[in-house]
Amino acid sequence: MTDKQIRERLVSLIDLTSLNDDDDAPRIEALCQRALTPLGNVAAVCVYPRFVALARSTLNQLGAPDIKVATVCNFPAGDASVDQVCAEVQQSLESGADEIDLVYPYRALLAGDTSQGLELIATVADLCEGRALLKVILETGELQDPELIRQASEDAIAAGADFIKTSTGKVNVNATREAADTMLSVIAAHGGSIGLKPAGGIRTLEQALGYLELAQWWLGEEWVTPQHLRLGASGLLDDLLAQTGGAGY
């Protein structure tokens, strides 16, 4: 692959995200405009539930209906009740969300309770079936222990997740290659049918290539598509575009 082709491939894997407390309509509209780049379109934009309808209409107006709209639920603490989460998911789906990024109740797992996570994910998976992709955020930087990360990955997959995702980006430790390696080992053991989304702190081409190479090692180059690998890495886009500009593309 040429340098430009590598950058285009990475752009196609990005979930371009804005999850700030002070987000407003102009910022979300600007995010959607940024999703259409000289290196091609990103895979998705990820916004708070209240901005889903705006993001969808803006992308459609920009002539980019294929860019998915993702939103976050049970975010960021992962400690809402099942009823609260289901109401949030249902509203997001009705607003036009294509993908739900659901925070796994990781504190329950830390306390030794696996049933809470299984119940929540299974319930949300039923809501999403045939309507939206379900990405489950494990918050691996808080779980820390590779065996807990493995347990959370297994539980998420068993309960119906389409993707497992490392982090919310709202804690001290977010995506790491070590966590991604553990998650990919579980995905590989399940035949590669589940996707992976490293998220949080991925800001450079070098960092992104590390995750790309890890995914290829476990599952092969053909597995690395937006259907299986996403990068929650808005800062990465700046680096890819800046270096591309410098290369004269």
Please report where in the chains the tokens 């039923």 appear, as a residue: 126
- What integer pLDDT is reported at residue 245 of this predicted model? 55
Please report the pLDDT score of residue 249 as a whole number: 31
Catalytic residue of the set 68, 155, 197, 239: 197
Angle at 131 between CA 126 and CA 136, to 5 degrees: 60
Query: Buried (b) or exposed (e) across 198-236, using 16+ Cβ within 10 A?
Result: bbbbbeebebbeebbebbeebbeeebbebebbbbbbbeb
For residue 246, the model assigns a pLDDT of 40
Q: What is the pLDDT of residue 112?
A: 97
Q: Is 170 a catalytic residue?
A: no
Per-residue pLDDT, 243: 76
Q: What is the pLDDT of residues 103-116, one digit of tens each?
A: 999 999 999 999 99
pLDDT score at 19: 97
What does the alpha-carbon distance between residue 190 and residue 159 come to, in Å, rounded to a whole number? 13
Predicted TM-score of the model (pTM):
0.96
The per-residue pLDDT for 244 is: 65
Beta bridge partners of 41: 36
Q: Beta-carbon neighbour count of residue 61 at 10 Å?
A: 11
pLDDT of 161 reads: 98
Query: Could you confirm whether 165 is annotated as catalytic?
Result: yes
Rounded CA separation 199/180 (Å): 10
Q: Are 48 and 78 in contact (CB under 8 A)?
A: no
> Domain containing 51: what range?
3-246
Please list the ranges in the chain whose pLDDT falls under 50. Answer: 246-249
Helix axes 115-128, 146-159, angle to 10 degrees: 40
60 C-beta neighbours (distance < 10 Å), count? 14
Is-catalytic flag, 197?
yes
Residue 51: its pLDDT value, please? Answer: 98
Number of CB atoms found within 10 A of residue 36's CB: 14
CATH number of the domain at 111, please: 3.20.20.70
Beta-carbon contacts of residue 225 (< 8 Å; ≥ 6 apart): none
Q: What is the pLDDT of residue 247?
A: 39
Query: Of the residues 15, 68, 98, 101, which is catalytic?
Result: 101
Give the CA-trace dihedral at 158, 190, 134, 197, to 10 degrees: 130
Structural domain total, the chain: 1
